[in-house]
């Protein structure tokens, strides 16, 4: 009996397996087949019949799908179906006769989700991501449509897109050899990046002026520590003169940038510029040494090295008023209204408690040097399954039109904003269907990041009013200071650098490891720890990137 | 269940016996041969009688085929250049006869480091974590008050239901060098703070200890069940012979649960290269990464985040193959020592 059963079982399994394997490829082959043939058709737009389009309007209704980030925020509306999506849908149907359907994709898992959608051939026609390496990887696999021919061919139909992004952002990623454009770059309208913050009320209590040099900043930290009893009373043991996180490169940016020689050339900066925290720039090590000294003197939060990304322990320490200074995103303490650091400090500590932005780290030329970002933001790309490239481009054009994006950014008057006597716009928080799921509806205006009302003066005034419950003077101070003496390393477009592929996360992790270890080790071990970590970073792919960038730079720019 | 009458069941047993006898016995073989035209018939008759049972089996088998066997075709990704738009059968083979990604992995320092850490942490886990539930089970069975025993057991297995994310959060609250409860207490006693979480050796100790704390109670259940199955007469007889508690433990309880211990040990050895993700990932931090990075974290960083799917699949395949080898070896070894093994 055993034998019969086993024979039967084996037969059954074989049949089932064959059925499984047989049907699987058969059913899935058409999809790759379609996708691989699509670029061929599309790479030569002139072979496709002339689109039936009159005055920018299709004669027959077209339909496209568009990715939209889903932040699943409390009290938010469905990101794919709300007041603002209706506004876009109606407008697109009216102006271009294109039907738009939104496809929600989790904001924090976007890369993984887009990955799945692309593999299944279901990716939205208009995709958006922050990660260019991801797009490059997909493009190498043949999963992305080359936008260059369409951008050229339909230039006249896309006046708003060209006006907002300009040729610079549209062709930012153009391959210098093949001329392909896998993705266009959204405009980073506001490139303020990082600020240094100190407790304004503590300075007053201790009769200290705002620090303007590294030395003054250091003395201020010591003063905070020595006067913990006065500043924090019974909670004196909680005193944290300077707080930092595992992300040293970001959270000490101003300090580290000040140690980079002023005469570093753009070429040097490019070659050593793979890491977005600039860890390979010359001079950084001495900056980290300062942090190591502070840590060992007890001026830095001693437990910072235990906490990873997304942990809000440090935020809570700031909210409780234990933190004297820190470096972070240029508007960090003022964000999030009632839930934010500023509002909580005012509640828990007192109405005077506030962080104020300062500049105190000068480089060897006496400048408050900081490295600012190029005017690029999110990357918009079309997967190769997109068979409506023109309708998709018209969509991008439509949301780039000042009138349309202005409405998306500020919403309805009296509901999501009010107009001040001087014309500035003050944002109000709305609930219900008209709630904005992201600040200034950034998720819908995928071609621009930053409030733009079409008038520089109004923009500046409105920006300062954009933080509910925060005195405008804090914003007005932080904003220019975070850009003072900023340097932007120009883009060097050398096409794809092969050794960078897939290395981003692994190298970033190595960087964070050795920086954290170098900051928290005893001073006499600092050199050993830093050098070993730095060498490991280079050996694990860092050096290969430097070498390839050197070669490519010489090839295209020398 | 099938409502077979006795008559029917004897009928079905008969040809079966003939069949079994046919093995190697020539005289009977002729008998079977003469009735061989009935062989197909027998199978038909057999199926006719038992088809409902096979129908029942169909569902689990379908499950295994669809969710366990069909996906195995994607093992190929380890030997191929992954492409998002191509079918797995159409992807081009990787260089070096398809072994490109295995070579790449073994040339990668991080992978070797992850391999070392995986083996080290799992081995320590086995060394310290495996005997712990046996000891606890022995202690619990010796407790004279049943109620106290039950309460202790329940409390001991509670942590099993906590996710590692929560345990890691608790650990940070308790063991942080300056703000942690434990170190604050030590500080009051005049002891220097212990770097439970931010110094590699201490971290490993904490990691293993938390692992035991989390799983010891739960793993005790199976031993307690095995102990409950030991014939009480043996204990009575031993008492008559004057055996004390420890003697009884050593000569009756432990031999009584030996086969359970062996089966669990084999299964544990099968996991020696397997790696959890959430436990080392949640407990790890940037100070101890060179001991806390295990294979699962390597796969996540390079494969999922770095989009190197072929590399990640190759590493995963290597891991599975080694686990299977360990499983077979442990099983064979157990059989050599006279145990039943897992199969």
Residue-wise pLDDT for A160-177, tens only, equals: 999 999 999 999 999 988
Residue of B nearest to A246 (CA): B286
Assigned domain for B87 exists: no
Tell me, yes or no, whether B215 and B110 share the same domain: yes
Please give the residue that has the higher pLDDT: either A533 or A13.
A533
Assigned domain for B316 exists: yes
Cβ pair B110:A520 closer than 8 A: no
Tell me, yes or no, whether A257 and A185 share the same domain: no
Tell me, yes or no, whether B135 and B241 share the same domain: yes
Cβ pair A506:B197 closer than 8 A: no
Closest residue to B308, CB basis, from A21, A141, A502 = A502
Assigned domain for B1 exists: no
Residues of B in contact with A36 (CB under 8 A): 85-86
Residue of B nearest to A1 (CA): B16
Cβ pair A513:B289 closer than 8 A: yes
**Which band of pLDDT confidence, cut at 50, 70 and 90, is reported for residue A338?**
confident
B70 touches chain A (CB under 8 A): yes
Q: How does DSSP classify residue A490? A: P
Name the minimum distance, in Å, from the CA of A408 to any CA of chain B. Answer: 32
Whether the per-residue pLDDT at A37 is higher than 80: the answer is no
Tell me, yes or no, whether A314 and A392 share the same domain: no
Domain end position, chosen among A358, A388, A405? A405
Tell me, yes or no, whether A114 and A138 share the same domain: yes
Q: What integer is the mean pLDDT of A392-408?
A: 95
Cβ pair A308:B285 closer than 8 A: yes
Tell me, yes or no, whether A142 and A243 share the same domain: no
Tell me, yes or no, whether B146 and B293 share the same domain: yes
CATH number at residue B320: 1.10.3720.10
Residue whose token pair is 């990660």:
A131
Strands (E), A18-122: 53-54, 57-58, 62-70, 98-106
Residues of B in contact with A28 (CB under 8 A): 87
The count of domains in chain A is 2
Cβ pair B287:A142 closer than 8 A: no
Tell me, yes or no, whether A175 and A215 share the same domain: no
Name the minimum distance, in Å, from the CA of B335 to any CA of chain A. Answer: 23
Q: List % helix, strand, coil for chain B (3-state, nearest 5).
A: 75, 0, 25
What's the CA gap between A294 and A221, in Å, rounded?
Answer: 9
Please give the residue that has the higher pLDDT: either A213 or B177.
A213
Assigned domain for A476 exists: no
CATH number at residue A69: 3.40.190.10
Assigned domain for A92 exists: yes
The count of domains in chain B is 2
Please give the residue that has the higher pLDDT: either A394 or A416.
A394
Tell me, yes or no, whether A396 and A275 share the same domain: no
Tell me, yes or no, whether B138 and B191 share the same domain: yes
Residues of A in contact with B302 (CB under 8 A): 502, 505-506
Tell me, yes or no, whether A199 and A135 share the same domain: no
Cβ pair B179:A303 closer than 8 A: yes
Tell me, yes or no, whether A254 and A347 share the same domain: yes
Tell me which residue range forms the domain holding A255.
194-372
Tell me, yes or no, whether A284 and A200 share the same domain: yes
Cβ pair A20:B16 closer than 8 A: no
What's the CA gap between A89 and A456, in Å, rounded?
Answer: 29
State residue A8's pLDDT score.
52
Residue of B nearest to A115 (CA): B84
* Cβ burial, residue A515 (10 Å; 0-12/13-18/19+): buried
Tell me, yes or no, whether B74 and B193 share the same domain: no
B67 touches chain A (CB under 8 A): no
Assigned domain for B238 exists: yes
State residue A368's pLDDT score.
95
Cβ pair B172:A305 closer than 8 A: no
Contacts of A490 (CB under 8 A, 6+ apart): A266, A374
**Which band of pLDDT confidence, cut at 50, 70 and 90, is reported for residue A437?**
confident
State residue B34's pLDDT score.
45
Cβ pair A24:B70 closer than 8 A: yes
**Which band of pLDDT confidence, cut at 50, 70 and 90, is reported for residue A255?**
very high
- A64-76 residue pLDDT tens: 999 999 987 777 8
Assigned domain for A445 exists: no
Tell me, yes or no, whether B68 and B180 share the same domain: no
Name the minimum distance, in Å, from the CA of A300 to any CA of chain B. Answer: 12
Note the ipTM here: 0.75
Phi/psi-derived region of residue A49, left when phi > 0, alpha when psi is between -120 and 50, beta in every other case: beta
Cβ pair B86:A32 closer than 8 A: yes
Assigned domain for B232 exists: yes
Cβ pair A141:B62 closer than 8 A: no
Assigned domain for B146 exists: yes
The full length of chain A comes to 558
Whether the per-residue pLDDT at A124 is higher than 90: the answer is yes
Tell me, yes or no, whether A168 and A276 share the same domain: no
Assigned domain for A456 exists: no
Angle between helices B200-228 and B131-141 (to 10 degrees): 50
State residue A172's pLDDT score.
93
Cβ pair A4:B46 closer than 8 A: yes
Assigned domain for A98 exists: yes
Residue of A nearest to B303 (CA): A502
- A344-378 residue pLDDT tens: 999 999 999 999 999 999 999 999 999 998 999 99
Closest residue to A20, CB basis, from B69, B176, B306 = B69
Assigned domain for A54 exists: yes
Residue of A nearest to B297 (CA): A506
Cβ pair B304:A112 closer than 8 A: yes
Closest CA to A323 of A243, A411, A230: A243
Whether the per-residue pLDDT at A82 is higher than 70: the answer is yes
Is the separation of the CB atoms in B306 and A111 below 8 Å? no
State residue B112's pLDDT score.
93
State residue B146's pLDDT score.
84
Q: What integer is the mean pLDDT of A285-290?
A: 96
Cβ pair A134:B90 closer than 8 A: no
Max distance between CA atoms of chain B, in angstroms, equals: 93
Assigned domain for B90 exists: no
Percent of all residues in chain A with a pLDDT value above 90, rounded to a whole number: 63
Residues of B in contact with A39 (CB under 8 A): none
Whether the per-residue pLDDT at A418 is higher than 50: the answer is yes
Tell me, yes or no, whether A363 and A306 share the same domain: yes
State residue A67's pLDDT score.
96
Assigned domain for B70 exists: yes
Cβ-based neighbour number of residue A233 at 10 Å: 8
B308 touches chain A (CB under 8 A): yes
Helix or strand run (H / E) with residue A377: strand A376-381
Contacts of A481 (CB under 8 A, 6+ apart): A195, A357, A358, A359, A368
**Which of B44-78 are b and which e, b meaning 16 or more Cβ less than 10 Å from the residue's Cβ?**
eebeeebeeeeeeeeeebeeebeeeebeebeebbb
Residues of B in contact with A499 (CB under 8 A): none
Cβ-based neighbour number of residue A519 at 10 Å: 27
User: Best mutation site among B117, B307, B308 for testing chain A: the one with the most A CBs within 10 Å?
Assistant: B307
Q: How does DSSP classify residue A243? A: B
Is the separation of the CB atoms in A103 and A41 below 8 Å? no
- The tens place of each residue's pLDDT in chain B, 343 residues long, gives 333 344 444 444 444 444 444 444 444 444 444 445 567 788 888 888 888 888 899 999 999 999 999 999 999 999 998 887 788 888 889 888 889 999 999 998 889 999 999 999 999 999 999 999 999 999 988 888 888 888 988 898 899 999 999 999 999 989 988 888 999 899 889 888 889 998 999 999 999 999 999 999 999 999 999 998 999 899 999 989 888 888 888 999 999 998 889 888 888 888 888 878 999 999 999 999 889 999 999 998 888 778 888 999 999 999 999 988 988 888 888 888 777 777 7
State residue B26's pLDDT score.
42
Tell me which residue range forms the domain holding B173.
96-336
Tell me, yes or no, whether A205 and A354 share the same domain: yes
**What are φ and ψ of residue A286, in 5° steps?**
-65, -30
**Which band of pLDDT confidence, cut at 50, 70 and 90, is reported for residue A393?**
very high
Name the minimum distance, in Å, from the CA of B107 to any CA of chain A. Answer: 10
Name the minimum distance, in Å, from the CA of A310 to any CA of chain B. Answer: 12
State residue A138's pLDDT score.
87
Strand partners, A425: A419
Percent of all residues in chain A with a pLDDT value above 70, rounded to a whole number: 91
Is the separation of the CB atoms in A289 and B159 below 8 Å? no
Tell me, yes or no, whether B128 and B211 share the same domain: yes
């Amino acid at each position: 009996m055993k034998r019969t059963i086993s024979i039967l079982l084996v037969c059954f399994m074989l049949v089932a397996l064959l059925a499984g394997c047989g049907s699987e490829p058969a059913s899935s082959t058409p999809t790759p087949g379609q996708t691989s043939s699509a670029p061929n058709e599309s790479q030569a737009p002139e072979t496709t019949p002339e689109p039936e389009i009159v005055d920018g309007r299709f004669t027959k209704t077209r339909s496209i799908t568009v990715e939209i980030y889903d932040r699943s925020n409390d009290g938010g509306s469905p990101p794919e179906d709300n007041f603002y999506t209706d506004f876009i849908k109606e407008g697109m149907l009216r102006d271009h006769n294109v039907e738009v359907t939104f496809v929600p994709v989790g904001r924090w898992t976007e890369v993984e989700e887009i990955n799945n959608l692309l593999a299944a051939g279901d990716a939205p026609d208009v995709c958006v991501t922050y990660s260019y390496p991801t797009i490059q990887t997909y493009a190498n696999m043949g999963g992305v449509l080359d936008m260059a021919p369409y951008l050229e061919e339909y230039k006249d139909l896309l006046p708003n897109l060209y006006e907002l992004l300009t040729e610079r952002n549209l062709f930012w990623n153009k391959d210098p050899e093949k001329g392909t454009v896998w993705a266009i770059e959204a405009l980073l309208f506001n490139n303020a990046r990082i600020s240094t913050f100190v407790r304004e009320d503590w300075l007053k209590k201790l009769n200290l002026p705002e620090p303007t040099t590294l030395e003054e900043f250091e003395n201020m930290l010591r003063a905070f520590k020595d006067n913990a009893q006065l500043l924090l009373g019974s909670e004196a043991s909680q005193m944290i003169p300077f707080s930092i996180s595992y992300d040293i490169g970001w959270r000490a940016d101003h300090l580290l940038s000040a140690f980079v020689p002023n005469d570093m050339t753009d070429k040097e900066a490019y070659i050593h510029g793979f890491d977005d925290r600039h860890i390979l720039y010359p001079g950084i090590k001495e900056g980290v040494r300062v942090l190591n000294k502070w840590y060992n003197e007890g001026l830095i939060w001693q437990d910072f090295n235990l906490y990873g990304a997304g942990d809000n322990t440090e935020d809570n320490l700031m909210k409780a008023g234990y933190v004297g200074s820190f470096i972070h995103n240029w508007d960090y303490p003022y964000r999030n209204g009632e839930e934010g650091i500023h509002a909580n400090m005012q509640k828990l500590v007192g109405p005077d408690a506030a962080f104020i932005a300062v500049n105190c780290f000068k480089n060897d030329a006496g400048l408050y040097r900081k490295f600012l970002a190029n005017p690029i933001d999110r990357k918009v790309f079309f997967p190769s399954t997109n068979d409506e490239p023109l309708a998709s481009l018209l969509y991008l054009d439509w949301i780039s039109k000042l009138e349309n994006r202005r409405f998306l950014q500020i919403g309805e008057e009296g509901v999501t904003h009010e107009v001040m006597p001087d014309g500035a716009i003050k944002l109000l928080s709305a609930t219900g269907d008209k709630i904005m799921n992201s600040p200034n509806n950034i998720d819908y205006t995928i071609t621009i990041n930053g409030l733009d009302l079409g008038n520089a003066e109004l923009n500046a005034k409105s920006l300062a009013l954009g933080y509910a419950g925060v005195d405008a003077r804090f914003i007005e101070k932080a904003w220019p200071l975070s850009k003072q003496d900023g340097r932007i390393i120009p883009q060097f477009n050398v096409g794809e650098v092969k050794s960078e592929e897939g290395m981003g996360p692994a190298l970033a992790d190595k960087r964070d490891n050795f920086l954290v270890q170098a900051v928290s080790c005893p001073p006499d071990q600092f050199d050993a720890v830093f050098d070993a970590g730095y060498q490991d970073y280079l050996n694990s792919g860092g050096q290969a990137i430097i070498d390839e960038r050197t070669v490519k730079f010489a090839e295209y720019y020398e | 269940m099938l409502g077979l009458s006795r008559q029917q069941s004897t009928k079905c047993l008969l040809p079966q016996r003939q069949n079994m006898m046919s093995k190697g016995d020539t005289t009977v073989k002729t008998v079977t041969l003469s009735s061989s035209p009935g062989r197909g018939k027998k199978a038909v008759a057999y199926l006719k009688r038992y088809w409902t049972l096979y129908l029942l089996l169909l569902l689990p088998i379908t499950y295994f085929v669809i969710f366990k066997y069909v996906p195995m075709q994607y093992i190929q990704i380890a030997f191929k250049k992954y492409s998002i738009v191509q079918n797995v059968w159409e992807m081009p083979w990787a260089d070096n006869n398809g072994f490109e990604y295995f070579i790449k992995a073994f040339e990668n320092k991080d992978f070797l480091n992850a391999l070392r850490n995986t083996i080290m942490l799992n081995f320590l886990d086995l060394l310290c974590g495996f005997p712990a539930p046996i000891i606890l089970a022995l202690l619990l069975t010796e407790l004279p008050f049943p109620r106290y025993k039950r309460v202790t057991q329940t409390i001991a297995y509670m942590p099993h239901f906590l996710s590692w994310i929560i345990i890691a959060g608790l650990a940070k609250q308790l063991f942080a060098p300056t703000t942690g409860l434990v170190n604050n207490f030590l500080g009051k006693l005049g002891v220097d703070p212990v770097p439970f979480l931010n110094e590699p050796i201490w971290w490993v100790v904490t990691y293993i200890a938390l692992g035991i704390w989390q799983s010891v109670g739960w793993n005790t259940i199976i031993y307690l069940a095995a102990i409950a199955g030991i014939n009480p007469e043996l204990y009575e007889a031993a008492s008559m012979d004057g055996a004390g508690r420890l003697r009884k433990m050593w000569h009756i309880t432990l031999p009584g649960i030996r086969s359970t211990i062996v089966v669990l040990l084999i299964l544990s050895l099968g996991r020696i290269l397997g790696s959890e993700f959430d436990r080392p990932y949640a407990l790890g931090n940037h100070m101890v990464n060179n001991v806390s990075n295990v294979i699962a974290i390597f796969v996540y960083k390079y494969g999922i985040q770095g989009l190197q799917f072929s590399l990640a699949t190759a590493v995963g395949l290597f891991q599975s193959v080694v686990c299977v080898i360990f499983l077979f070896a442990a099983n064979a070894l157990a059989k050599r020592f006279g145990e039943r093994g897992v199969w």
